[in-house]
Amino acid sequence: MAQMNMIEAIRSAHDVMLDRDPTVVVMGEDVGYFGGVFRCTDGLQRKYGEHRVIDAPIAEGGIIGTAIGMGINGLRPVAEIQFADYIYPGFDQIVSELARIRYRSCGEFFSPVTIRTPCGGGIRGGQTHSQSPESIFAHVSGIKTVMPSNPYDAKGLLISAIESDDPIIFFEPKRIYNGPFDGDPEKPGVSWASHPKGEVPDGYYTVPLGTAEVAMPGEELTIITYGTLVHVAIAAAKETGVDCEVIDVRTMAPLDVQTLADSVKKTGRCLVAHEATRFGGYGAELAATIQKECFYHLEAPIGRVAGWDTPYPHAFEWQYFPGLKRLAAGIRRVMEAE
Amino acid sequence: MITKSRLQIPRPAARPGDEPDFSYLELSPAGSVDKPAIGSPTRDIEFLSNGLVRVLDDDHQAKGPWDPGLDPSQLQVALRWMLLTRAFDDRMWQIQRQGRISFYMQARGEEAISIAQGMALRIGDMCFPSYRNQGLFMFRGMKLVDMMCQCLSNTRDMCKGRQLPIMYHSKAGNVFSISGNLATQVPHAVGWAMASALKGEDHIAATWLGDGSTAEADFYHALTFAAVYQAPVILNVVNNQWAISTFQGTAGGQRRPFAARGLGLGIPGVRVDGNDFLAIYAATLWAADRARRGHGPTLIEHVTYRGGAHSTSDDPSKYRPKDEWQAFPLGDPVERLKQHLITQGRWSEAKHTALEKQLRDDVTAAWKEAQKYGTMTEEPFLDSSTMFEDVYAEMPRNLESQRRRLREILEGE
């Protein structure tokens, strides 16, 4: 066991897989010699060589398109898209190709590409370095969409993603790369060292795709969320004094409906929360799923807390970000409703 | 003299009612373009992208340094495959017109490309085709009946009813699945080739796209990655002059040939007579040799003409002269190879007619067999609940439950 932040955990997952499987190759902008702008691949090119950890031209569509071709030829490419906001030039390759190759060839061809990309705000990134586009990808059949909320899950889920024969979009909430964040930017930063999920095995282990986890048990209200907001939700629950059960979705698609439904059937109340914009957001799918599975257990309408339906404004990111106050207000609303 | 900016809207030389006009096509006499050593630096061989590599001259003789010196028996085989492509296309077109399949695309006038390149490549080389490469699938072993079953979406359809007609795939033949999107396969070919080089194998990749789809970003991504990593790949631009209703100038072909698209990245381009079997074969062999020996990618532009409609949903009489193909200066690839063999004393009109008939009969027999596996209106039908398979490696719970629901609905009917 070691203390790792999320960056170190992700790097360690790469290291483990590059070592275990000679077909694993890493490709992306600045990932090689420099080790990535967030340092997630630092030192890996020195260790595994420039044929396994490859600096790519600045063309996300090209990175994803060629990674698909490598996958068809028996490699397991791990492609980094430097920011989730940059993924759109590769969108057609993901939606029309990567997600469909197995289907349209009836399993004759497939390409096991993992696309990693940092997402979310809270780092003063403005509207081109802060987006959370997970719902766009969760909507696409044929790919799996993942977002961890801590170092232990990040490493275990990334190893599962790389080993999976399905294509994976792996979102990394960059605000919590260095430490959990309770949603109050005025407080001093906290490191992962004080968090139980900052304890990460050095070697190989997996966290299965398609499984949600109870991040904090409780009896009165279920908060279903993922990524950075897992930590905000826990802090908001403590602030309100409501005995909340916080569920970390971890895999947006395919969704672990059972874990979510079991919790809501127990608590009878549900709040869904995410940083991404509200309209057509992933929370709508969560709310509809819970309504279908748990309608007769619900004691109040399902609440929803999300980013505003605007781009992510640089100067007003803390007014945009659904932080502690908005989560706490959301909890109270669901508790007060009858 | 131009004194102020003016928005140019490219216009083809001829529209319906006009005399066909191919004066814009720059042609070189057969045998006139040099054949450089495969290791030549790109800057020394830029002429290949401006000239036109041709072997067969107007008298049907093979000429010059690009003559691959193929034995006439091999050319007879090639002619047979080209004729089979045409016979298959003719029949499938007719079948679509009878309403028995939903859609079809023929390769009329472009048959030499798939067959010559199929023959010049090795079976271990991976092909990433476009939708007019049916000859390649046939040449690499796909049975006519299987192609027909795909077009019928019947119980023997390799795509299990998931794909439009003609979107074949062949793992056994190393031909990748046709997407239906344009140019998306080009970066795949480059990535496949990068992986081949990375693994130290000597297989190369080849891919095809039309003049129109060179405008897609994927083409430029592919060129960049191919050049940067010197991927062992052949990028084929099939310039058949028309992208549905827009002529090649709308994709930017008026000032520089498509073969020159890679020069800025150091990728040599070869502009080749796409209706000259021998020239295509030779250019492909040259490019494949370059790729295999570590000299990286080559872009080949095949100058040809789309002899038929874009697809069964298209009506070219609305946008181009009806007799344009007849006026195309590079002729018909089938006719040219046939005349070459006749000139060699190795073929005759009688043999040709007999072969055409035999191939038509083969196609008819395949069609009879294909219908036994079902048609759009006659049993047996595909089980529609197979639509939930192969979305993922293993079926997730939500798809299992949707499949159950579909079965309930179907049984209730």
Residue pLDDT, tens place only, B210-248: 999 999 999 999 999 999 999 999 999 999 999 999 999
Residue pLDDT, tens place only, A312-321: 999 999 999 9
User: Which residues of chain A neighbour B171 with C-beta distances below 8 Å?
Assistant: 105, 108-109
Q: Is residue B4 part of a domain?
A: no
Q: H or E stretch including B333?
A: helix B333-343
Q: Please, what is the average pLDDT of chain B? A: 97
Select the residue of B128, B159, B217 nearest A104 (Cβ to Cβ).
B159
Q: How many CB pairs under 8 A join A and B?
A: 142
User: Which residues of chain A neighbour B398 with C-beta distances below 8 Å?
Assistant: 254-255, 257
Domains of chain A: 2-200 (3.40.50.970), 213-336 (3.40.50.920)
pLDDT at B52: 98
What mean pLDDT do residues A90-101 have? 98
Same domain, B329 and B409: no
pLDDT at A1: 86
- Phi, psi (rounded to 5 degrees) for B264: -65, -20
pLDDT at B337: 98
Q: Which two tokens stand for residue A176?
A: 């919590």
Same domain, B402 and B327: no
Residue pLDDT, tens place only, B46-63: 999 999 999 999 999 999
User: Which residues of chain A neighbour B207 with C-beta distances below 8 Å?
Assistant: none
Same domain, B395 and B357: no
Contact present, A228 and A122 (Cβ < 8 Å): yes
Q: Is residue B37 part of a domain?
A: no
Same domain, B242 and B182: yes
Q: Is residue B28 part of a domain?
A: no
Same domain, B276 and B389: no
Contact present, A163 and A206 (Cβ < 8 Å): yes
Residue pLDDT, tens place only, B97-133: 999 999 999 999 999 999 999 999 999 999 999 999 9
In this prediction the ipTM stands at 0.97
User: Which residues of chain A neighbour B192 with C-beta distances below 8 Å?
Assistant: 69-70, 72-73
A297 catalytic residue (yes or no): no
Look at residue B264 and tell me whether its pLDDT is greater than 90: yes
Contact B218 A61 (CB under 8 A): yes
Q: Given pLDDT bands bounded at 50, 70 and 90, which one contains residue B413?
A: low
What mean pLDDT do residues A151-177 have? 98
Q: Is residue B114 part of a domain?
A: yes
Same domain, B254 and B395: no
Separation of CA B164 from chain center:
17
Q: Which residues pair with B243 in a beta bridge?
A: B246
Q: Is B58 exposed, middle or buried (0-12, 13-18, 19+ CB in 10 A)?
A: exposed
Same domain, B276 and B342: yes
Q: Is residue B1 part of a domain?
A: no
Residue pLDDT, tens place only, A42-75: 999 999 999 999 999 999 999 999 999 999 999 9
Select the residue of A57, A75, A105 nearest B195 (Cβ to Cβ).
A75
Same domain, B225 and B238: yes
Q: Which two tokens stand for residue B121?
A: 């490549």
Residue pLDDT, tens place only, B147-198: 999 999 999 999 999 999 999 999 999 999 999 899 999 999 999 999 999 9
Range of the domain at B388: 383-413
Contact B194 A69 (CB under 8 A): yes
DSSP state of B249: G
CATH value at residue B102: 3.40.50.970
B397 touches chain A (CB under 8 A): yes
What distance in Å separates the CA atoms of residue A129 and residue A126, rounded to the nearest whole number? 6
DSSP codes joined into one string, A182-223: -S-TTSPP--GGGSGGGEE-SS-----TT--EEEE--SSEEE
Q: Is residue B18 part of a domain?
A: no
Q: Is B138 exposed, middle or buried (0-12, 13-18, 19+ CB in 10 A)?
A: buried
Q: Which two tokens stand for residue A76?
A: 């397991």
Same domain, B299 and B389: no
Q: Which two tokens stand for residue A9?
A: 């955990």
A248 touches chain B (CB under 8 A): no
- Phi, psi (rounded to 5 degrees) for A145: -120, 125
Look at residue A338 and tell me whether its pLDDT is greater than 80: no
Question: Catalytic: which of A14, A129, A195, A231?
Answer: A129
Which one, of A225, A247, A238, A231, lies nearest residue A307 by Cα? A225
Same domain, B340 and B411: no
Residue pLDDT, tens place only, A206-265: 999 999 999 999 999 999 999 999 999 999 999 999 999 999 999 999 999 999 999 999
B154-184 b/e with 16+ CB inside 10 Å = b?
A: bbbbbbbbbbbbbbbbbeebbbbbbbebbbb
Contacts of A151 (CB under 8 A, 6+ apart): A4, A5, A6, A8, A9, A192, A197, A198, A200
User: Which residues of chain A neighbour B128 with C-beta distances below 8 Å?
Assistant: 69
In angstroms, the separation between the Cα of residue B116 and the nearest Cα of chain A is 24
Q: Is residue B396 part of a domain?
A: yes
First and final C-alpha spacing in chain B: 73
Q: Alpha-carbon torsion A185, A186, A189, A190, what sign?
A: negative
Contact B177 A61 (CB under 8 A): no
Select the residue of B160, B169, B194 nearest A109 (Cβ to Cβ).
B169
What distance in Å separates the CA atoms of residue B251 and residue B212, rounded to the nearest whole number? 5
Question: pTM score > 0.95 for this model?
Answer: yes
Same domain, B329 and B406: no
Same domain, B50 and B164: yes
Select the residue of B160, B192, B218 nearest A70 (Cβ to Cβ).
B192
**Closest chain B residue to A93 measured between Cα atoms?**
B184
Q: Is residue B141 part of a domain?
A: yes
